[in-house]
Amino acid sequence: MHITLDNPQSAPQPAGPYSEVARIDLGGGGALLFLAGQVSLDEEGNVAGGDDMAAQSRIVLEAVQALLKAHGATLDHVVNIRTFLTDMSRLGEYAAVRREFLTGTPPTSTTVEVSGLFRPGALIEVEVVAAVPPAPAA
């Protein structure tokens, strides 16, 4: 088993001193990807999307998509998604955007309401686990 901690240049950079992706190679070409929680940040590290849950959700899921892509995965490989919302009454707004991104069989899921996130104004944080199958034999 080999573990790689990574901050892919092709994806949003972390807002602090941590790795965005932990990749656990399972042998035979398969891997598990553990993504750090993603919030809606612009390139300067400011919250993007204002008080618009759908806009923040879209930015977050696009960041998740970019991190997965950097490791040869897609949203179809997500097996678990954990969502932290600052206001559970806005779950429907997030769920509508999530359905645009996760179109196949839904992964296992946990959603909780939190009193706040690490950046004031952030409404949502999402972390995922993805299982990447081995590449098909040539």
Residue 138's pLDDT is what?
59
pLDDT band at 67 (very low <50, low <70, confident <90, very high): very high
pLDDT digits (tens, 9 = 90+) for 30-65: 999 999 999 999 888 899 999 999 999 999 999 999
Domain boundary assignment for the chain: 2-132
Would you call 122 exposed, middle or buried from its count of C-beta atoms within 10 A (0-12, 13-18, 19+)?
buried
CA distance 74 to 136: 16
Please say if the pLDDT value at position 12 is more than 90: no
Beta strands 108-113 and 78-85 are: parallel
CA distance 127 to 109: 10
Q: Are 37 and 103 in contact (CB under 8 A)?
A: no
Please say if the pLDDT value at position 136 is more than 80: no
pLDDT digits (tens, 9 = 90+) for 77-125: 999 999 999 999 999 999 999 999 999 999 999 999 999 999 999 999 9
- We find that the CATH architecture of domain 2-132 is 2-Layer Sandwich (3.30)
Using alpha carbons, select from 119, 126, 128, 96 the residue that is nearest to residue 48: 119
